[in-house]
Amino acid sequence: MFDLHHKVAVVTGAGSGIGAAIATLFARHGARVVVLDRTDSAEATAGAIHDAGGEAMALRCDVSLADDVQRAFASIAHDRGGVDILVNNAGIAHVGTIETTTSDDLDRLYAVNVRGVFLCAREAVTLMLRKGHGVILNMASIASLIGLPDRFAYSMTKGAVLTMTRSIAVDYVKRGIRCNCICPARVHTPFVEGYLREHYPGREDEVRRALAAYQPIGRMCTPEEVAALALYLCSDEAAFITGQAYPIDGGVLVA
């Protein structure tokens, strides 16, 4: 089950956290992984995959820039012959209400979380249509499904990811392309730890416990748990699933 051999899987924002976990797990299941990130962390993830016996190539790419995305996917088409799987994982966060969110904040989040998904999905769809098949998986959030306090701009962008997911699914269901999204609650990533150090110095443990307690199950999700769900949704075992939003939330939506 979950055999990805001979499939080219592109994972954005795969230099760390959820993206790195997805890229690593996909490679373990045989995928020829392409690690995209805007920093040299892409090389680190690809190197770790190589060291574990997997196949990966790293490309630096800022998903908010059309030229960067076009260059990256042209390189993938040339070196790998196309794309079978795209995981749109790259994203950034913001804390604030509509009163405390500036126009620059909104534009910055939109550029990565919405425009980045659009640009990568558009390039991937073009290549997938040549093959007659493909899978796109977008990283949304429970913020796509419920209101979260102090997450105005972030929730806006993740709501857009959800509707893009459904639009792609509807437009290409007859042409061999599936599209779904994952909606995590809080995931314990290096980003979270960096956020705690920056905004709550000396109170990291206290705030970390509060973040964990938000999930009724009593902890944050791990990147590896998100990766396991991503593996299923991108595998042939999920061939009958498209246009869906999958929460992985520790009970938040049912509490």
Q: Using alpha carbons, select from 71, 64, 115, 80 the residue that is nearest to residue 10.
A: 80
Domain check: are 74 and 191 in the same one?
A: no
User: pLDDT band at residue 198, thresholds of 50, 70 and 90?
Assistant: confident
Number of domains in the chain: 2
Write down the pLDDT at residue 202: 95
Whether 195 has a pLDDT exceeding 90, the answer reads: no
Domain check: are 99 and 202 in the same one?
A: no
Q: Kindly report, residue by residue over 49-101, the tens digit of the pLDDT.
A: 999 999 999 999 999 999 999 999 999 999 999 999 999 999 999 999 999 99
Domain check: are 118 and 197 in the same one?
A: no
Rounded to the nearest integer, the mean pLDDT of the chain is 97
- Are 166 and 181 spatial neighbours (Cβ–Cβ below 8 Å)? no
105 located within any domain: yes
254 located within any domain: no
0.95 cut: is pTM over it?
yes
Q: Kindly report, residue by residue over 121-139, the tens digit of the pLDDT.
A: 999 999 999 999 999 999 9
Domain check: are 180 and 191 in the same one?
A: no
Domain check: are 43 and 121 in the same one?
A: yes
Active site residues: 154
Establish how many alpha carbons lie within 13 A of residue 54's alpha carbon, considering only the half-sphere containing its beta carbon.
27
> For residue 35, what is the enclosing H or E element?
strand 32-37
Write down the pLDDT at residue 191: 85
Tell me the H-state helices in the chain. Answer: 17-28, 41-51, 66-80, 103-109, 116-131, 152-172, 190-199, 204-213, 223-234
User: pLDDT band at residue 253, thresholds of 50, 70 and 90?
Assistant: very high
Q: How far apart are CA 89 and CA 60, in angstroms?
A: 15
In which domain, by residue range, is 212 found?
187-220
Token couple for 204: 């990291």
User: pLDDT band at residue 199, thresholds of 50, 70 and 90?
Assistant: confident
250 located within any domain: no
253 located within any domain: no
Write down the pLDDT at residue 255: 80
